Amino acid sequence: MTPYEALIANTAKARDGLLTAPVIQRALVGDVTPELYVAYLTQAYHHVRHTVPLMMAVGSRLGTGYDWLRKEIVHYTEEEIGHEVWILNDIEAAGGDREQVAASEPSIETEAMVAYAYDIAHRRNPVGFFGMVFVLEGTSIALALNAAQAIQSSLRLPDRAFSYLRSHGKLDQEHVHHLAGIVNRMDSPTDARSITRCAEAMFWLYGNIFRSLDAVPA
């Protein structure tokens, strides 16, 4: 079993806990209102806008012997720049107020997930951050590629309201293969444990964001 396969196996229970969130199950069958879709995009905006700063923080704290990983982070950062703007564009196309969303505060659940990520980057083993990458990109594929069509058909929204879900879903398919190569290259048991622990926490924290959306009218 490769380190990446071990990561998948060791976090399977936590992953199932996320994917059973009621909102995700509704999205997969298109049982989504415009308000719920905009609410989801709003929270996505609030955590996606931290992706680049988080990666820069991780890169700045990597020690000697991790130059190869720092180069990988540069590659990720270049591809992630501006994705929060995609989300604001989608919100506007879906009938939401992009300026209001940009000026709003995240939910407590979203704030908790972002705060945990910064704690990993600044106080713990920064390599653990790849546990968050594992969770968000894997979930993005499961949700974006499987749910986007169902949501669009149900809401009858234009293609331009789904640039984040569709583009990010396809991009994350490439990233997952890339991430597997990164994880498999790490030979430190400490790093492997840090990534697994972060992934378990992120499955729970990200699941809480989706569960917080249950309050949006069905």
Domain at 34-213, CATH homologous superfamily:
Heme oxygenase-like (1.20.910.10)
Where residue 142 falls among pLDDT bands split at 50, 70, 90?
Answer: low
- Among the residue ranges 110-124, 170-184, 202-216, the one predicted with the least confidence is 170-184
The per-residue pLDDT for range 92-141, each reduced to its tens digit, is 999 999 999 999 999 999 999 999 999 999 999 999 999 999 999 888 77
pLDDT > 80? residue 26 = yes
**How confident is the model over 33-43, as a mean pLDDT?**
95
The pLDDT of residue 164: 87
Residue 137: which of 4, 3, 10 has the closest Cα? 4
Residue 2 main-chain phi, psi, to 5 deg: -75, 160
**172, pLDDT greater than 80:** no
pLDDT digits (tens, 9 = 90+) for 47-71: 999 999 999 999 999 998 999 999 9
Predicted TM-score of the model (pTM): 0.93
Q: Please give the Cα distance from 79 to 90 (Å, whole number).
A: 19
Query: What is the structure's pLDDT at 75?
Result: 87
150 pLDDT band, cuts 50/70/90, is: confident
Check pLDDT > 70 for residue 169: no
